[in-house]
Amino acid sequence: MRYTQAVEAFIAHLAQVRRLSPATVRAYRSDLADLGRAVGDADVTEMDLEALRDWLWQATQRGDARSTLARRAAAVRSFFGWAHDAQLVTVDPSLRLVTPRRAKTLPVVASADGMRELLDAQRIAASTGDPIALRDHAILELLYAAGIRVSELCGVDVDDLDLQRRVVRVLGKGSKERVVPFGAPAATALGAFLTRGRSALLARTESPGPALFLGARGARIGPRTVYALVARVLGPIVGADHVGPHALRHSAATHLLDGGADLRAVQEILGHASLGTTQIYTHVSAERLTATYRLAHPRA
Protein backbone atom coordinates (compact mmCIF):
# COMPACT_ATOMS: atom_id res chain seq x y z
CA MET A 1 0.00 0.00 0.00
CA ARG A 2 1.25 3.51 -0.82
CA TYR A 3 2.08 5.81 2.08
CA THR A 4 -0.66 8.38 1.40
CA GLN A 5 -3.30 5.67 1.15
CA ALA A 6 -2.11 4.06 4.38
CA VAL A 7 -2.16 7.44 6.16
CA GLU A 8 -5.78 8.02 5.13
CA ALA A 9 -6.74 4.59 6.50
CA PHE A 10 -4.88 5.35 9.74
CA ILE A 11 -6.59 8.75 10.10
CA ALA A 12 -9.98 7.06 9.64
CA HIS A 13 -9.01 4.57 12.36
CA LEU A 14 -8.13 7.41 14.76
CA ALA A 15 -11.40 9.22 14.13
CA GLN A 16 -13.83 6.30 13.90
CA VAL A 17 -12.31 3.58 16.10
CA ARG A 18 -10.19 5.39 18.67
CA ARG A 19 -12.61 8.36 18.57
CA LEU A 20 -9.90 10.97 19.07
CA SER A 21 -10.87 14.62 18.97
CA PRO A 22 -10.86 16.43 15.59
CA ALA A 23 -7.96 18.60 16.78
CA THR A 24 -5.88 15.53 17.68
CA VAL A 25 -6.68 13.88 14.36
CA ARG A 26 -5.60 17.05 12.51
CA ALA A 27 -2.32 17.05 14.45
CA TYR A 28 -1.63 13.44 13.44
CA ARG A 29 -2.40 14.24 9.82
CA SER A 30 -0.07 17.25 9.86
CA ASP A 31 2.82 15.32 11.43
CA LEU A 32 2.45 12.40 9.03
CA ALA A 33 2.24 14.80 6.09
CA ASP A 34 5.64 16.14 7.11
CA LEU A 35 7.10 12.65 6.74
CA GLY A 36 5.28 12.29 3.42
CA ARG A 37 7.02 15.39 2.07
CA ALA A 38 10.38 13.78 2.90
CA VAL A 39 9.79 10.28 1.55
CA GLY A 40 7.24 10.91 -1.19
CA ASP A 41 4.44 8.47 -1.86
CA ALA A 42 6.59 5.40 -1.22
CA ASP A 43 5.27 1.94 -0.54
CA VAL A 44 5.04 1.54 3.23
CA THR A 45 6.89 -1.79 3.04
CA GLU A 46 9.91 0.03 1.58
CA MET A 47 10.15 2.62 4.35
CA ASP A 48 12.97 1.72 6.73
CA LEU A 49 14.69 3.08 9.82
CA GLU A 50 17.28 4.99 7.78
CA ALA A 51 14.54 6.89 5.94
CA LEU A 52 12.94 7.87 9.24
CA ARG A 53 16.28 8.94 10.72
CA ASP A 54 17.03 11.03 7.64
CA TRP A 55 13.62 12.69 7.97
CA LEU A 56 14.33 13.66 11.60
CA TRP A 57 17.80 14.89 10.65
CA GLN A 58 16.29 17.17 8.00
CA ALA A 59 13.84 18.53 10.57
CA THR A 60 16.75 19.19 12.95
CA GLN A 61 18.59 21.09 10.23
CA ARG A 62 15.48 23.25 9.72
CA GLY A 63 15.66 24.18 13.36
CA ASP A 64 12.48 22.39 14.50
CA ALA A 65 12.08 22.41 18.28
CA ARG A 66 12.78 19.26 20.27
CA SER A 67 9.16 19.13 21.34
CA THR A 68 8.09 19.19 17.67
CA LEU A 69 10.53 16.40 16.77
CA ALA A 70 9.32 14.28 19.70
CA ARG A 71 5.67 14.80 18.80
CA ARG A 72 6.16 13.96 15.12
CA ALA A 73 8.20 10.87 15.93
CA ALA A 74 5.46 9.72 18.32
CA ALA A 75 2.89 10.15 15.54
CA VAL A 76 5.04 8.08 13.15
CA ARG A 77 5.48 5.35 15.77
CA SER A 78 1.71 5.23 16.26
CA PHE A 79 1.22 5.02 12.49
CA PHE A 80 3.68 2.16 11.98
CA GLY A 81 2.38 0.35 15.07
CA TRP A 82 -1.07 0.43 13.52
CA ALA A 83 0.32 -0.58 10.10
CA HIS A 84 2.06 -3.58 11.67
CA ASP A 85 -1.11 -4.65 13.49
CA ALA A 86 -3.05 -4.25 10.22
CA GLN A 87 -0.40 -6.42 8.49
CA LEU A 88 0.50 -3.67 6.04
CA VAL A 89 4.16 -4.08 7.07
CA THR A 90 5.95 -7.14 8.43
CA VAL A 91 8.56 -5.11 10.34
CA ASP A 92 7.92 -1.87 12.24
CA PRO A 93 10.80 0.45 11.23
CA SER A 94 9.97 2.99 13.93
CA LEU A 95 10.73 0.73 16.90
CA ARG A 96 14.37 1.88 17.06
CA LEU A 97 13.68 5.50 16.13
CA VAL A 98 15.27 7.68 18.81
CA THR A 99 14.27 11.30 19.31
CA PRO A 100 15.64 13.98 21.65
CA ARG A 101 13.89 14.13 24.98
CA ARG A 102 11.45 16.97 25.48
CA ALA A 103 12.67 19.72 27.75
CA LYS A 104 10.67 19.49 30.94
CA THR A 105 8.83 22.74 31.63
CA LEU A 106 6.49 23.38 34.50
CA PRO A 107 3.08 24.84 33.62
CA VAL A 108 2.23 28.47 34.26
CA VAL A 109 0.36 28.73 37.55
CA ALA A 110 -1.24 31.78 39.17
CA SER A 111 -1.03 32.24 42.91
CA ALA A 112 -4.14 31.75 45.03
CA ASP A 113 -4.01 35.43 46.01
CA GLY A 114 -3.65 36.45 42.37
CA MET A 115 -6.69 34.40 41.41
CA ARG A 116 -8.68 35.92 44.25
CA GLU A 117 -7.85 39.44 43.08
CA LEU A 118 -8.65 38.58 39.46
CA LEU A 119 -12.04 37.08 40.25
CA ASP A 120 -12.93 39.88 42.66
CA ALA A 121 -12.24 42.41 39.90
CA GLN A 122 -14.39 40.43 37.48
CA ARG A 123 -17.21 40.25 40.04
CA ILE A 124 -17.14 44.04 40.41
CA ALA A 125 -17.18 44.49 36.62
CA ALA A 126 -20.15 42.11 36.36
CA SER A 127 -22.11 44.05 38.99
CA THR A 128 -22.82 46.69 36.33
CA GLY A 129 -25.17 44.18 34.67
CA ASP A 130 -23.38 44.22 31.33
CA PRO A 131 -24.12 40.83 29.70
CA ILE A 132 -20.54 40.36 28.41
CA ALA A 133 -19.09 41.18 31.84
CA LEU A 134 -21.53 38.74 33.47
CA ARG A 135 -20.54 36.06 30.96
CA ASP A 136 -16.80 36.64 31.36
CA HIS A 137 -17.06 36.47 35.15
CA ALA A 138 -18.98 33.19 34.94
CA ILE A 139 -16.48 31.73 32.44
CA LEU A 140 -13.44 32.55 34.57
CA GLU A 141 -15.08 31.28 37.75
CA LEU A 142 -16.04 27.98 36.11
CA LEU A 143 -12.68 27.43 34.40
CA TYR A 144 -10.86 27.92 37.69
CA ALA A 145 -13.38 26.20 39.96
CA ALA A 146 -13.85 23.07 37.84
CA GLY A 147 -10.47 22.92 36.10
CA ILE A 148 -12.12 22.05 32.78
CA ARG A 149 -10.59 22.42 29.32
CA VAL A 150 -11.59 25.30 27.06
CA SER A 151 -13.14 22.85 24.57
CA GLU A 152 -15.21 21.36 27.38
CA LEU A 153 -16.36 24.80 28.53
CA CYS A 154 -17.40 25.84 25.01
CA GLY A 155 -19.36 22.61 24.60
CA VAL A 156 -21.44 22.97 27.78
CA ASP A 157 -25.20 23.37 27.28
CA VAL A 158 -27.60 24.89 29.78
CA ASP A 159 -28.99 21.44 30.63
CA ASP A 160 -25.47 20.24 31.54
CA LEU A 161 -25.40 22.64 34.47
CA ASP A 162 -26.89 21.82 37.88
CA LEU A 163 -26.62 24.89 40.09
CA GLN A 164 -28.37 23.23 43.01
CA ARG A 165 -25.86 20.38 43.21
CA ARG A 166 -23.04 22.60 41.91
CA VAL A 167 -21.89 20.20 39.21
CA VAL A 168 -21.41 20.47 35.46
CA ARG A 169 -21.40 17.65 32.90
CA VAL A 170 -18.67 17.96 30.27
CA LEU A 171 -17.53 15.94 27.28
CA GLY A 172 -13.77 15.45 27.43
CA LYS A 173 -11.11 13.87 25.25
CA GLY A 174 -12.15 10.71 23.45
CA SER A 175 -15.81 11.71 23.93
CA LYS A 176 -15.57 10.70 27.59
CA GLU A 177 -18.25 12.29 29.74
CA ARG A 178 -17.63 13.27 33.34
CA VAL A 179 -19.38 15.31 36.03
CA VAL A 180 -17.24 17.96 37.74
CA PRO A 181 -18.05 19.88 40.94
CA PHE A 182 -17.61 23.62 41.42
CA GLY A 183 -17.93 25.95 44.40
CA ALA A 184 -20.34 28.58 45.66
CA PRO A 185 -18.66 31.62 44.01
CA ALA A 186 -18.86 29.95 40.60
CA ALA A 187 -22.49 29.01 41.25
CA THR A 188 -23.30 32.63 42.12
CA ALA A 189 -21.58 33.94 38.97
CA LEU A 190 -23.29 31.34 36.78
CA GLY A 191 -26.67 32.10 38.33
CA ALA A 192 -26.25 35.82 37.68
CA PHE A 193 -25.25 35.18 34.07
CA LEU A 194 -28.22 32.87 33.48
CA THR A 195 -30.63 35.34 35.06
CA ARG A 196 -29.40 38.64 33.63
CA GLY A 197 -26.77 38.01 30.94
CA ARG A 198 -27.55 35.02 28.76
CA SER A 199 -31.05 36.16 27.76
CA ALA A 200 -29.64 39.50 26.57
CA LEU A 201 -27.05 37.75 24.40
CA LEU A 202 -29.60 35.23 23.16
CA ALA A 203 -31.79 38.07 21.90
CA ARG A 204 -29.02 39.02 19.44
CA THR A 205 -29.49 35.90 17.29
CA GLU A 206 -32.35 34.59 15.20
CA SER A 207 -31.29 30.97 15.81
CA PRO A 208 -31.16 30.44 19.60
CA GLY A 209 -29.44 27.26 20.73
CA PRO A 210 -28.79 25.31 23.94
CA ALA A 211 -25.24 26.60 24.53
CA LEU A 212 -24.55 27.92 28.03
CA PHE A 213 -21.94 30.48 27.02
CA LEU A 214 -22.66 32.75 24.05
CA GLY A 215 -20.63 35.10 21.94
CA ALA A 216 -21.41 38.77 21.35
CA ARG A 217 -23.82 37.84 18.52
CA GLY A 218 -25.69 35.19 20.49
CA ALA A 219 -24.12 32.05 19.01
CA ARG A 220 -22.14 29.44 20.97
CA ILE A 221 -18.90 30.94 22.19
CA GLY A 222 -15.68 29.77 20.52
CA PRO A 223 -12.30 28.89 22.05
CA ARG A 224 -10.64 31.93 20.47
CA THR A 225 -12.89 34.32 22.42
CA VAL A 226 -12.11 32.50 25.67
CA TYR A 227 -8.37 32.56 24.91
CA ALA A 228 -8.50 36.31 24.35
CA LEU A 229 -10.37 36.84 27.63
CA VAL A 230 -7.93 34.77 29.69
CA ALA A 231 -4.87 36.36 28.05
CA ARG A 232 -6.21 39.83 28.83
CA VAL A 233 -7.00 39.29 32.51
CA LEU A 234 -4.57 36.55 33.57
CA GLY A 235 -1.48 37.57 31.60
CA PRO A 236 -0.57 40.54 33.83
CA ILE A 237 -0.98 38.40 36.97
CA VAL A 238 1.35 35.58 35.90
CA GLY A 239 3.70 37.85 33.95
CA ALA A 240 3.28 36.06 30.63
CA ASP A 241 2.31 37.54 27.29
CA HIS A 242 0.91 34.31 25.87
CA VAL A 243 -1.28 32.59 28.44
CA GLY A 244 -4.49 30.69 27.75
CA PRO A 245 -7.34 28.95 29.56
CA HIS A 246 -5.14 25.94 30.36
CA ALA A 247 -3.29 28.14 32.87
CA LEU A 248 -6.51 28.27 34.93
CA ARG A 249 -6.71 24.46 34.74
CA HIS A 250 -3.08 24.24 35.88
CA SER A 251 -3.78 26.68 38.70
CA ALA A 252 -6.88 24.79 39.86
CA ALA A 253 -4.99 21.47 39.98
CA THR A 254 -2.02 22.96 41.82
CA HIS A 255 -4.18 24.74 44.39
CA LEU A 256 -6.20 21.55 45.00
CA LEU A 257 -2.99 19.64 45.76
CA ASP A 258 -1.64 22.52 47.86
CA GLY A 259 -4.86 22.31 49.86
CA GLY A 260 -4.42 18.59 50.54
CA ALA A 261 -6.53 17.01 47.79
CA ASP A 262 -5.77 13.40 46.87
CA LEU A 263 -3.87 12.99 43.60
CA ARG A 264 -6.38 10.47 42.24
CA ALA A 265 -9.27 12.79 43.06
CA VAL A 266 -7.54 15.55 41.10
CA GLN A 267 -7.04 13.07 38.24
CA GLU A 268 -10.79 12.39 38.17
CA ILE A 269 -11.65 16.10 38.28
CA LEU A 270 -9.30 16.91 35.40
CA GLY A 271 -10.33 13.87 33.37
CA HIS A 272 -6.78 12.59 32.88
CA ALA A 273 -6.58 9.04 31.52
CA SER A 274 -3.23 8.50 33.23
CA LEU A 275 -2.19 9.39 36.76
CA GLY A 276 1.25 10.23 35.36
CA THR A 277 -0.24 13.23 33.55
CA THR A 278 -1.59 14.58 36.84
CA GLN A 279 1.70 14.06 38.68
CA ILE A 280 3.30 17.10 37.08
CA TYR A 281 1.29 19.20 39.52
CA THR A 282 3.06 17.54 42.45
CA HIS A 283 6.28 18.92 40.95
CA VAL A 284 4.71 22.36 40.68
CA SER A 285 3.71 22.22 44.35
CA ALA A 286 7.18 21.01 45.33
CA GLU A 287 8.76 23.88 43.38
CA ARG A 288 6.54 26.39 45.18
CA LEU A 289 7.35 24.79 48.54
CA THR A 290 11.09 24.93 47.80
CA ALA A 291 10.89 28.56 46.72
CA THR A 292 9.00 29.48 49.91
CA TYR A 293 11.54 27.59 52.03
CA ARG A 294 14.49 29.35 50.43
CA LEU A 295 12.89 32.75 50.97
CA ALA A 296 11.79 32.16 54.55
CA HIS A 297 14.19 29.79 56.30
CA PRO A 298 17.24 31.46 57.91
CA ARG A 299 19.50 28.52 56.98
CA ALA A 300 18.16 27.91 53.49
Annotated catalytic residue, options 72, 149, 250, 255: 149
Catalytic (active site) residue 149: yes
Q: What is the DSSP letter of 211?
A: B
Contact 216, 132 (CB under 8 A): yes
DSSP notation for 156-209: -BGGGEETTTTEEEEE-GGG-EEEEE--HHHHHHHHHIIIIIHHHHHTT-SS--
Active-site hit among 29, 72, 135, 249: 249
| Alpha helices, DSSP H, located in the chain | 3-16, 22-39, 49-62, 66-85, 112-126, 131-146, 150-155, 184-192, 198-202, 223-238, 246-258, 263-270, 275-278, 280-296
Task: Please check whether residue 192 is in contact with residue 136, taking contact to mean a CB–CB distance below 8 angstroms.
Answer: no
Q: Active-site residue 281, yes or no? A: yes
Sign of CA dihedral 237, 242, 248, 254: negative
Paired with 168 in beta bridges are 161, 180
Q: Which of 169, 204, 246, 288 is catalytic?
A: 246
Catalytic residue among 84, 204, 272, 288: 272
Q: Is 293 among the residues known to form the active site?
A: no
Active site residue 2: no
> Rounded to an integer, what distance in angstroms lies between the CA atom of residue 32 and that of residue 26?
10
The Cα–Cα gap between 228 and 225 comes to 5
In whole angstroms, what separates CA 295 from the centre of its chain?
33
Options 169, 173, 196, 220, the catalytic residue: 173
Q: Is 96 a catalytic residue?
A: no
Nearest 10 degrees: Cα torsion 282, 288, 291, 292: -120
CB distance 83 to 47 below 8 Å: no
Q: Is 173 a catalytic residue?
A: yes
Strand 161-162 and strand 177-181: the pairing is unpaired
Residues catalogued as catalytic: 149, 173, 246, 249, 272, 281
